[in-house]
Amino acid sequence: MNKQFLIFISCAAVLLVANPAFASQSGVIKTVQGQVRIERGDRNLVAKVGDPVQELDRVMSQSESSVGISMNDETLLSLGPNSMLVIDRYAYDPVTRTGQVATSILKGTLRYVTGLIGRAHPEAIKVTTQNSTIGIRGTEFIVQVPVDN
């Protein structure tokens, strides 16, 4: 085998390994105030500005804490203090500007500003609480879920 072929195979292998991690990134942490954590599978991460968020991540803010997330389609998610959000489903095709966003707010406050998916296809946005599912037809809203005592 020649040297160029080996370099090509090596690069292809690196891309195959790196691509799934990149493709699974749904958005990025833009702001963090106080203590915010991300549960990703069996890992518990301290959220920092610039960290990726992924489908199935559970984002949790502590008291006197908040976090701002910018999704790939420009959707903006803001969690207030003592809040918990799960990114249940996130798919976005930047070429067609289509996709699907499903989140669950388990407790606390979520401010949601729809991005390209919601503006083009509002029926593709779903926010679930313990007691209801919200279909989105507007561009901005706030959901508050009280903490059970």
pLDDT tens profile 54-91 = 999 999 999 999 999 999 999 999 999 999 999 999 99
Cα angle 104, 137, 79; round to 5: 35
Is 54 inside a domain boundary? yes
Assigned domain for 37 exists: yes
Kindly state whether residue 16 falls inside one of the protein's structural domains: no
| Residue 93 domain-assigned (yes or no) | yes
Domain annotation covers residue 132: yes
Is residue 113 in a domain? yes
Structure tokens at 76: 């903006």
Q: What is the pLDDT of residues 15-55, one digit of tens each?
A: 444 444 444 899 999 999 999 999 999 999 999 999 999 99
Number of domains present in the structure of the chain: 1
Q: Where in the sequence is the domain holding 38, given as residue range(s)?
A: 26-145
20 domain-assigned: no
pLDDT grade, residue 142 (50/70/90)?
confident
